[in-house]
């Protein structure tokens, strides 16, 4: 049975008409409280993934569990449906098991803290924060084994339990959990940071209720949700067609030799409601790349994409959820059956954004964005130093953001806008390594009228023996270009041994042994280009040659001729562009760099790696199609 909220005051909240000034004050106070949650977290946590990179996501919800401010949408509904227990004043909930909350968190490394906020015996709000833990046990350091065949191999799983029960802290529970991790100091500090963030937000809610009254605060949250509903309803009716459109993209491989895995989605509108149907998505993987996609989370992704493309002034919250219906087939890559492994879900998670771009842009190509850095590639390096002390690094890499209708994609940026990089000085101070190169990789952004952002080349020299794990994607398929733009460059990983020999290593690999003096060149992919490259300003291309973002050879992809100093030869440029236009075929809406069959045929020559083998059900799917 679902959770039971225990309220000692049965009086319902009174509906109050909120004047615009009061509504604006409460809205901005909630926004500021969300920012304060982030600040509290990053100043209290110890792991570099949270403290330095910000891999954590806050939430303030109304008394019904609907997100008012946050990023991922509310996961409280899924929790309440699955939790068989009472929720009382003074309680705080702790969980990490995706299967116990309908995928509201998507792998066990994400620890979630939920705090119900009571006033005078009534629930007025929820605050929540989840953050990625660098290690929770399991078969490999970092707790994200690529070859895991079930979630039991991925470290400690925490069902919804009470971290605090009526204000009493559960010390024995935390002792048990911390016993499972290789980094209990980091995990304990990070958990305390999650708790502190939730309490800060709860205090701000209490202060708003003290100032305006409980009824006014609750009515204001309802007004914010309704305002979002009205805005999104108008946006959907004007921007989404009743005609069915489909789009598909791929996760390159599963890390154990098979792929690519297709994600397909269809979209259409029925009245004011958008239908998003993932029928045709491939079956779940036997490895860990499955992504248990929570329907509410995907609704929020859809809403944020719509808002940022069409009307960024809208504040996103959960108010529009009734306008969207999400259909995900059971047993697919996006709704795997328990106990499927989930630790490598980041690639499918990121690819969802490319899918949304491809769907929403087909009817309005002027708003279409290319494919870009839709993942969070991980590097993990661990071992014991010469003093016998354990070290363990978890780091998220950056890459090229896609070209877009109004400009170039940034070079070397994160998939998540709020993430920051781990400073190289921090890495070299706390881990036995040296960063020898950290640079935007010239020509890795896809050519276009608006260039895709360049990927990053980061070269790590290891100063102690250890093991490395790499989780990345887009090494087999390309980040596609749009409206005549060309694809961005794919990801590569090259290990240069201390004796000078080099080898290309897979983009998904665990327990790669490295020795003192070895160098790993961690190269991420670029963003696809937008629009015809021959329409790009030649002077801008020449400037980027001078800046090292484009090479003289790469400039010729734009029909631009210049020397190594970026001096432009305009006559030669005009001649080259005329020649290229004469040979050009029609500019396709999407440029994928080739069909899957063509990519297989060219794979080893282009990447240095064999192509992934089709999964066992591939031929059955082809026959059905």
Report the chain (625 residues): mean pLDDT per 10 consecutive residues: 88 95 96 96 93 91 94 79 92 95 89 97 96 96 96 96 97 97 97 98 98 98 95 90 95 96 97 96 96 91 81 82 96 97 94 91 85 86 95 94 93 81 94 97 97 97 98 97 96 96 97 97 97 97 97 98 95 97 85 96 97 79 59
Give the β-pairing of 456-462 and 433-440: antiparallel
- Give the Cα separation of 517 and 465 in Å (integer): 9
Beta strands in 237-377, from DSSP E residues, in sequence order = 245-251, 261-270, 273-277, 324-327
Q: Is 467 exposed, middle or buried (0-12, 13-18, 19+ CB in 10 A)?
A: middle
Question: Can you give the pLDDT at residue 621?
Answer: 59
- Give the Cα separation of 56 and 212 in Å (integer): 30
Q: Does the N-terminal peptide bond of residue 339 adopt cis geometry, omega within 30 degrees of 0?
A: yes
Six-digit token pair at 484? Answer: 């005549």
- Give the Cα separation of 26 and 29 in Å (integer): 5
- Give the Cα separation of 201 and 206 in Å (integer): 9
Q: Check: CB of residue 510 under 8 Å from CB of residue 558.
A: no
Q: Does the N-terminal peptide bond of residue 260 adopt cis geometry, omega within 30 degrees of 0?
A: yes
Question: Can you give the pLDDT at residue 402?
Answer: 93
Beta strands in 424-533, from DSSP E residues, in sequence order = 433-440, 456-462, 466-471, 481-482, 492-496, 502-504, 508-514, 519-523
- Give the Cα separation of 355 and 249 in Å (integer): 7
Give the β-pairing of 110-119 and 122-132: antiparallel
Question: Can you give the pLDDT at residue 184?
Answer: 97
- Give the Cα separation of 202 and 100 in Å (integer): 25
Backbone angles phi, psi at 322, to 5 degrees: -65, -10
SS3 623: helix
- Give the chain's count of helices (H) and strands (E): 14, 24
Q: Check: CB of residue 444 under 8 Å from CB of residue 454.
A: yes
Instruction: Give 384's strand partners.
Output: 390
What pTM, to 2 d.p., does this model score?
0.94
Question: Can you give the pLDDT at residue 174?
Answer: 97
Query: Which DSSP letter does residue 470 get?
Result: E
Residue 498 C-alpha from the chain's centroid: 35
| DSSP run (H or E) holding 427 | helix 424-430
What secondary structure, in 3-state letters, does 592-611 show? CCCCHHHHHHHHHHHHCCCC
Question: Can you give the pLDDT at residue 619?
Answer: 56
């Amino acid at each position: 049975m679902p959770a039971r909220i225990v309220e000692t005051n049965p009086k319902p909240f009174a509906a109050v008409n909120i004047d615009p000034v009061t509504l604006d004050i409460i809205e901005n106070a909630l926004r500021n409280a969300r920012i304060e949650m982030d600040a509290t977290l990053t100043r209290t946590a110890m792991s570099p993934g949270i403290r330095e990179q910000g891999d954590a996501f806050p939430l303030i919800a109304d008394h019904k569990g609907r997100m008012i401010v946050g990023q991922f949408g509310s996961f409280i509904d899924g929790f309440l449906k699955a939790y068989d227990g009472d929720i009382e004043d003074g309680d705080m909930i702790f969980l990490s098991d995706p299967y116990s909350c309908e995928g509201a968190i998507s792998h066990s490394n994400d620890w979630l803290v939920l705090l119900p906020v009571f006033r005078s015996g009534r629930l007025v709000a929820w605050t929540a924060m989840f953050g990625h833990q660098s290690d929770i046990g399991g078969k490999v350091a970092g707790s994200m084994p690529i070859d895991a065949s079930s979630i039991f191999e991925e470290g400690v799983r925490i069902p919804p339990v009470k971290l605090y029960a009526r204000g009493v802290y559960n010390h024995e529970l935390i002792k048990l959990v911390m016993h499972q991790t290789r980094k209990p100091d980091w995990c304990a500090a990070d958990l305390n940071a999650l708790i502190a963030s939730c309490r800060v937000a709860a205090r701000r809610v209490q202060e708003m209720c003290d100032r305006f009254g409980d009824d006014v605060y609750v009515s204001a949250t309802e007004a914010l949700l309704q305002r979002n509903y009205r805005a999104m309803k108008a946006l959907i009716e004007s921007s989404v067609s009743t005609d069915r459109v489909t789009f598909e993209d791929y996760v390159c491989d599963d890390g154990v030799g098979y792929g690519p895995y297709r994600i397909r989605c269809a979209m259409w509108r029925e009245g004011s409601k958008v239908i998003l149907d993932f029928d045709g998505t491939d079956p779940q993987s036997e490895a860990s790349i499955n992504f248990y996609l929570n329907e509410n989370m995907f609704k929020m992704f859809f809403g944020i994409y719509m808002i940022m493309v069409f009307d960024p002034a809208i504040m996103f919250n959960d108010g529009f959820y009734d306008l969207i219906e999400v259909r995900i087939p059971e047993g697919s890559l996006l709704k795997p059956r328990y106990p499927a492994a989930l630790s490598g879900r980041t690639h499918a998670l990121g690819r969802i954004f490319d899918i949304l771009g491809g769907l929403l842009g087909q009817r309005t190509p002027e708003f279409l964005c290319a494919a870009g850095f839709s993942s969070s590639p991980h590097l993990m390096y661990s071992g014991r130093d010469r003093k016998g002390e354990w070290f363990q690094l978890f780091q998220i890499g950056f890459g090229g953001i896609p070209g877009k209708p109004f400009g170039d994609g940034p070079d070397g940026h994160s998939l998540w806008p709020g993430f920051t990089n781990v400073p190289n000085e921090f890495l070299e101070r706390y881990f036995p390594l040296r960063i020898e190169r950290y640079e935007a990789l010239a020509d890795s952004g896809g050519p276009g009228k608006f260039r895709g952002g360049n990927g990053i080349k980061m070269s790590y020299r290891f100063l102690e023996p250890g093991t490395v794990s790499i989780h990345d994607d887009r090494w087999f398929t390309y980040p596609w270009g749009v409206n005549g733009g060309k694809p961005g460059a794919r990801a590569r990983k090259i290990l240069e041994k201390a004796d000078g020999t080099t080898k290309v290593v897979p983009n998904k690999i665990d327990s790669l042994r490295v020795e003192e003096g070895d160098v790993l060149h961690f190269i991420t992919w670029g963003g696809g280009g937008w629009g015809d490259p021959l329409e790009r300003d030649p002077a801008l291309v020449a400037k980027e040659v001078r800046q090292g973002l484009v090479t003289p050879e790469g400039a010729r992809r734009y029909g631009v001729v210049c020397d190594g100093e970026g001096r432009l030869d305009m006559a030669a440029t005009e001649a080259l562009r005329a020649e290229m236009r004469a040979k050009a075929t029609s500019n396709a809406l999407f440029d994928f760099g080739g069909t899957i069959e063509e990519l297989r045929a060219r794979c080893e020559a282009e990447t240095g790696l064999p192509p992934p083998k089709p999964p066992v059900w591939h031929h059955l799917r082809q026959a059905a199609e």
